[in-house]
Structure 1
Amino acid sequence: MPLLDHLGITVTDLERGRAQFAPVLAALGFAIGHGDDHSLSWNKDDETELILMAPRDDDPEPHRHGRVGWQHLAFAVGSREDVERLHTIAVTAGWTPVREPKEYPRFTERYYASFVEDDGGIRIEFMHNPPRDV
Structure 2
Amino acid sequence: MFSLMANCCNWLKRWREPSRKVTLLMVGLDNAGKTATVRGIQGENPEDVAPTVGFSKVDLKQGKFEVTIFDLGGGKKIRGIWKNYYSETYGVVFVVDSSDVQRIEETKDIMAEVLRHPRIAGKPVLV
TM bin, normalised by shorter chain, reads 0.3 to 0.5
Bigger proportion of residues as helix:
2
Q: TM-score, normalised by structure 1?
A: 0.33
- The structure with higher relative contact order (CA 8 Å, sep 6+) is 2
- Structure that is richer in strand per residue: 1
